[in-house]
Structure 1
Amino acid sequence: MDMDNEHTCQDCGYYRQHYIWREGQYIPISGHCVHPPRVRHCRPGMAACPKWIPQDASYRATRLPPE
């Protein structure tokens, strides 16, 4: 992980986090990049690649669990 980079995979619009419902809350289990050709295996804290784009409001509304 390169935390000197201000962007991470978890903050990217192409990152898709997966969750499970356990004990009354969503728990993140894994995630991946959906940018074609989908070859990048990433973890939430990894430094972002050059294809990084910001997450917009519709991404946050539809992809993140409710608080």
Structure 2
Amino acid sequence: MKAGRPSKDKKDALELSDVTDKPKKSTRVNFNLDEDTYFELKQYVLDNRTTVTKLLTEMIESRLNER
């Protein structure tokens, strides 16, 4: 007899990590805006119920897909 869980010895059993997508690694990007543009950006995301991160990510991906 061995200690431990008998189900762990099965090689054919799938694990959750085998069937789920692995999250993509993210990288932080920083840049400067003039104050007026920053306030316009913040007002835009508030009016559209989104976030700066989501908006900029969508804009960048859209531009990259145009190429």
Fold shared, TM-score > 0.5 on shorter chain = no
TM-score range, shorter chain: under 0.3
**Structure with higher helix content:** 2
**Structure with higher strand content:** 1
Higher relative contact order (CA 8 A, sep 6+): 1
> TM-score when scaled to structure 1?
0.21
Instruction: Compare CA radii of gyration and give the structure with the larger one.
Output: 2
